Amino acid sequence: MTANTESIVQAPAPQLVEHPRGAEPGKPGDRSAFRFEQTTRLPDSPNGKGKGGARYGRTGILHTPHGDIKTPAFVPVATQGAMKAVLPESMTQLGAQCLLSNAFHLYERPGEDVLDEAGGLAKFMNWNGPTFTDSGGFQVLSLGAGFKKTLAMDVKGMKSDDVIAEGKERMAFVDEDGVTFKSPLNGSLHRFSAEISMNIQHKLGADIMFAFDELTTLMNTRRYQENSVERTYRWAQRCVAEHERLTQSRLGKPYQALYGVVQGANYEDLRRHAASQIASLDFDGVGIGGAMEKRIIGDICAWICDEMPESRPRHVLGIAAVDDIFACVENGGDTFDCVAPARCGRNGAIFTRDGRYNIKRAQYKHDFGPLEEGCQCYTCTHYTRAYVDHLLRAHEMNGFTLATIHNEYFFVHLLDDIRASIDGGYFDEFRDETLARFYANGSRG
């Protein structure tokens, strides 16, 4: 082999974790393989939103069977066991610590039995690290009411328990036992319940999974929100029982952590009540879920943390706006997931420290600089704005790849920098400077 040939051979990818922590043949998964270790907490403040001025923001380490996650952390969404247009190796290289996949979509195809036979989600998609799966509860909103996957909302107008997004058909129907879905693939009917969701997620084999919950919209009435919180609690009780049964019966598998999900929309009393209910059950962590208005997103996190043991990690579901992330981190969020960075990238929206812009504007056709000056992601160190603009306009898959790599790098490293600011004692200054710079030109997101 010549020297020139050797110089272009890439280093081998890291080997997959073949023997996860806490997995022994013939034994249930060892629960001690999952735990949260808190490192630094933000000091309380007169302006703190928690009880007594508490600020629940912190850094820590989430220990899982397939590896550790330094928190706070951003969790990119590999919906169907894949980041659209980006290989798992590229996600590792850009700094992602973990990935989240969608239980409902993997149930539809290829089916949970395929992933179970393959050795679980991480092994199936050749991902060398921790994984999350959601419960399918999100489909209550996205299929039931037809809204986009945006949970931090600004909502005005009448309350309605039969609200449907314009031009959409209701495809999910809730009853006491669970939810009946109409498949977005072929229109066939499917059934999810607490027990079904737990069985699917156990076979998918993620390190962290979520209890089956009902996600309401902000336009549901107060009475419906009250009933939904109680129904979600009853489902949570059933999830815990089924999770324990499956953990004991599926021998030789690593322990899978189960997070309960707190609902309650914008109502402080409902959020606190729901948090107390979830805290009373034997969950490993908590998911802060539901549609919520941006103006009180930090308050909602603080209300929930007031009622929750600090030993339990907290995951904020479906949030990726820069200001929302800072508000949620300050008030207790440990991990975050959202499809927005990848979806926005595929449509030409590029996130930078100086705001979000559309790469497909005419001004970038002859711009041979990087997507963001100073960015060290693979895209910015190898390609130009003009090239990415061309690829996206030509509908070339490489354009999706390059835009997604940059946007995911932006959010992964934003959380890395937030984590460093908490450990370093300069979170407030970093928050204020970052938000002032990002929104200086009225940028969205």
- 183 and 90 within one domain: yes
List pLDDT tens digits, range 4-54.
433 334 555 567 877 899 999 999 999 999 999 999 999 999 999 999 999
Q: Last residue of a domain, which of 308, 337, 366?
A: 337
- 248 and 291 within one domain: yes
In a domain, 420, yes or no: yes
> Is 104 one of the annotated binding-site residues?
no
Distance CA 368, CA 387 (A): 8
Q: Which residue has the tokens 């995951």?
A: 315
Q: Which two tokens stand for residue 201?
A: 């997620």
- Of residues 154 and 255, more confidently modeled: 255
Residue 134 known to be catalytic: yes
Lowest mean pLDDT among 136-140, 162-166, 372-376: 162-166
> Is 311 one of the annotated binding-site residues?
no
Q: Last residue of a domain, which of 315, 337, 359?
A: 337
> Is 162 one of the annotated binding-site residues?
no
> Is 213 one of the annotated binding-site residues?
yes
- 349 and 237 within one domain: no
* pLDDT value of position 7: 39
> Is 377 one of the annotated binding-site residues?
yes
* Alpha carbon distances (Å) from 123 to 19, 96, 126, 172: 11, 17, 5, 31
For residues 117-126, give the mean pLDDT: 97
Q: Which residue has the tokens 């919209």?
A: 217
| CATH number of the domain to which 142 belongs | 3.20.20.105
In a domain, 184, yes or no: yes
For residues 177-203, give the mean pLDDT: 90
- 363 and 303 within one domain: no
- 283 and 382 within one domain: no
Q: Which two tokens stand for residue 112?
A: 């949970």
- 345 and 281 within one domain: no
List pLDDT tens digits, range 390-400.
999 999 999 99
- 290 and 427 within one domain: no
In a domain, 344, yes or no: yes
In a domain, 8, yes or no: no
In a domain, 192, yes or no: yes
CB 81, CB 125: distance < 8 Å: yes
* pLDDT value of position 8: 38
- 210 and 356 within one domain: no
- 383 and 326 within one domain: no
In a domain, 140, yes or no: yes
- Coil, strand or helix: which one is 55? coil
In a domain, 16, yes or no: no
- 371 and 316 within one domain: no
Lowest mean pLDDT among 18-22, 229-233, 434-438: 18-22
In total, how many domains does the chain have? Answer: 2
Instruction: Indicate which residue of 207, 284, 306, 337 is catalytic.
Output: 337
In a domain, 99, yes or no: yes
Give the pLDDT band (50/70/90) at residue 217: confident
Instruction: Indicate which residue of 134, 207, 284, 389 is catalytic.
Output: 134
Share of the chain above pLDDT 70, in %: 90
Domain, as residue range, for 271: 72-337
* pLDDT value of position 19: 83
For residues 391-416, give the mean pLDDT: 98
Q: Over 90: is that where the pLDDT of 356 sits? A: yes
Residue 127: other Cβ atoms inside 10 A: 27
> Is 138 one of the annotated binding-site residues?
yes
Distance CA 99, CA 150 (A): 19
Q: Last residue of a domain, which of 337, 360, 388?
A: 337
* pLDDT value of position 4: 43
List pLDDT tens digits, range 41-97.
999 999 999 999 999 999 999 999 999 999 999 999 999 999 999 999 999 999 999
Q: Which residue has the tokens 């909502």?
A: 155
List pLDDT tens digits, range 292-324.
999 999 999 999 999 999 999 999 999 989 999
Residue 81: other Cβ atoms inside 10 A: 24
- 343 and 299 within one domain: no
> Is 285 one of the annotated binding-site residues?
no
- 225 and 77 within one domain: yes
Q: Over 60: is that where the pLDDT of 239 sits? A: yes
